[in-house]
Structure 1
Amino acid sequence: MNTDMSIAAAAEPLLLDAALPEFRFSRLECVAIAATPDAVYNAARDLDMLSIHSPLFDAVVWARGVPDRVRRRPVATPPSMRVSDLFDTAGSEDQPWVPLGERAGRELVFGAVGKVWRPTIEWRRVEPGDFAGFEEPGWAKMAAAFVVHPYGAQRSLLTYEARTACTDPESTTRFGRYWTLVSPGVGIVLRGALRVIEKAAETGERIS
């Protein structure tokens, strides 16, 4: 086998590299799963983020409703937050997360733009085609990806990576302070998502 050709094939760019090639902050978690790549990919695509039960994620979901609670308005709880909804349904103006790329059986990439360091996050809806080139000062660009790799004859390796790049030095400083506090918690959420996907892929059960 030609070693140089093997290395070139292994170094194929990720869709995430096109969406956010340069970034300052990142977190990557992975897990080996006893299931085929197709089963793992389908489980990742079917992931309902509301099925991730951890104190941190529950706090994040609760915090989203704080402004409505302050105004004594009913808090709308979505029936689900499935990854597939980003790719299969038309996004609305109040949905900051958008699909940034999909390679069937291999990668799912999605992202959002926001000022996440604020007590109440300010989101900026940026359409998928504008995400990579968005440079308006004052914002953090966040992209995340599930990537599935064959791992031996009977397992798959699933990675979940989150990247952030800010659009100006001041925002980078603000996000840096925020990231120092939340990075360990982000790791908890990412690992929680991987555990849910692992269970679904290995048992063949739908995530609910």
Structure 2
Amino acid sequence: MLLDRYLPIYHYHEKHSIDVRAPRDAVYRAIREVKYGDIPVLRLLFGIRMLPAWLAGKVKTGASDGDEPFIKRVIRHGFMLLEEAEGQELVVGVVGPFWRPIRNEPLRLDSAQAFIDYDSPRHAKAVMNFQVREQSNGTMTVFTETRIQTEDRAARLKFGLYWLLISPGSALIRRALLRAIKTNAEKERVVYGSQT
């Protein structure tokens, strides 16, 4: 699993999966193309997350682009694409002081190796993947795992309190993402199958 290259040791994590009845290429395309607007809960939860910064005047208001793919959106907002095995797995990562209500912007690192090497006690490192595995019955299972590592005990405590607050919403987002991926991939299969 590519994820292990970037964060083999971690302090917090969550893992979710869903079975999809569609070809691997359709499933992987759905992962890459699932749109921000396909997951309504994202707007609500991201809006809540940004509220302190918005109240402090640190972020601009404006309509978000619901047609933007989720992966492109998270990369635009500070994640980086660490590695991708086409049709199998992609991994994104981010470094920052996530637990702060304001001044929590992610660091901009210039390479996957810089992400691996980064070890400041003031920040946490987080990775998230999407992986496709074929089951014996031909069904594809999509897995997503999120891992977070903190180098410093004080940062770990701060992040732990933050994780208690946000982990239910984080799980809700991941499950909603997986459902949207399943819907989009299976819809593509039906459309393609009706044309043959």
- Shorter-chain TM-score: what band? 0.7 to 0.9
Please point out which of 10, 33, 42 is paired with 1:23.
10
Aligned position for 1:58: 44
**Among residues 53, 56, 60, which one is paired with 1:67 in the alignment?**
53
| Structure 1: gaps (5+ residues) | 1-13
Which residue number corresponds to residue 115 of structure 1? 97
Out of 164, 169, 183, the position equivalent to 1:199 is 183
After TM superposition, the score normalised by the length of structure 2 is 0.84
**Residues 69, 177 of structure 1: CA spacing in aligned structure 2 closer, same or farther, 3 A cutoff?**
closer
Counterpart of 2:19 in structure 1 is 32
| Count of residue correspondences | 186
Higher helix fraction: Structure 1 or Structure 2?
2
8 Å contact from structure 2 (residues 45, 169) kept in 1: no
Amino acid at match of 2:170: V
TM-score (normalised: structure 1): 0.79
Indicate conservation of the 8 Å contact 2:96/2:125, yes or no.
yes
SS of 1:204's partner is helix
Matched, 1:41 2:41: no
Q: Which residue of 2 aligns with 1:175?
A: 159
Q: Percent identity?
A: 27
Distance 1:181 1:158, change over 3 A: same
Structure 1 contact 29–191 (Cα < 8 Å) conserved: yes
For residue 36 of structure 1, report the CA deviation from its aligned partner.
Answer: 1.5
Letter in 2 for 1:76: G
How far does residue 62 in structure 1 lie from its aligned partner after superposition? Answer: 5.0
Taking the aligned partners of 1:195 and 1:166, their CA distance within structure 2 comes to: 30
Alpha-carbon distance change, 127 to 61 in structure 1, aligned in 2, over 3 angstroms: farther
Question: What's the RMSD between the two structures over aligned residues?
Answer: 2.5
> Structure 2 residue aligned with 1:125, among 94, 108, 116?
108
Contact 1:86 1:99 in 2 (8 A): no
Counterpart code for 1:51: D
